[in-house]
């Protein structure tokens, strides 16, 4: 999955998604490429379910893991 929303990417990372890469070709709109692998959940379905919960404002994450994920992404964005 890819998104330009840093807080959505942070929420997904705090739920177990991995950061594949960050596309910095447009410095005003970074694109976060995320991955998710699980033996019991299909990646596409998992992202769709989480995105629906995000869109409906019902997605729940651990607050500290969310903050840690935001800091991680900001560090990665600002690396040269």
Q: What is the pLDDT of residue 28?
A: 86
> How do residues 10-63 score in pLDDT, each as one tens digit?
999 999 999 999 999 987 889 999 999 888 889 999 999 999 999 999 999 999
Q: Which residues contact 71 (CB under 8 A, 6 or more apart)?
A: none
pTM: 0.91
Q: Are 19 and 73 in contact, with CB atoms under 8 Å apart?
A: yes
> How do residues 65-76 score in pLDDT, each as one tens digit?
999 999 999 999
Q: Looking at the predicted structure, is the pLDDT value of residue 80 above 60? A: no
């Amino acid at each position: 999955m890819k998104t330009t929303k840093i807080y959505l990417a942070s929420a997904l990372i705090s739920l177990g998604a991995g950061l594949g890469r960050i596309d910095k070709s447009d410095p005003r709109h970074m694109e976060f490429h995320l991955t998710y692998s699980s033996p019991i959940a299909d990646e596409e379905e998992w992202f769709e379910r989480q995105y629906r919960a995000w869109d409906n404002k019902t997605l729940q994450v651990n607050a500290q893991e969310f903050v840690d994920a935001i800091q991680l992404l900001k560090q990665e964005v600002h690396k040269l």
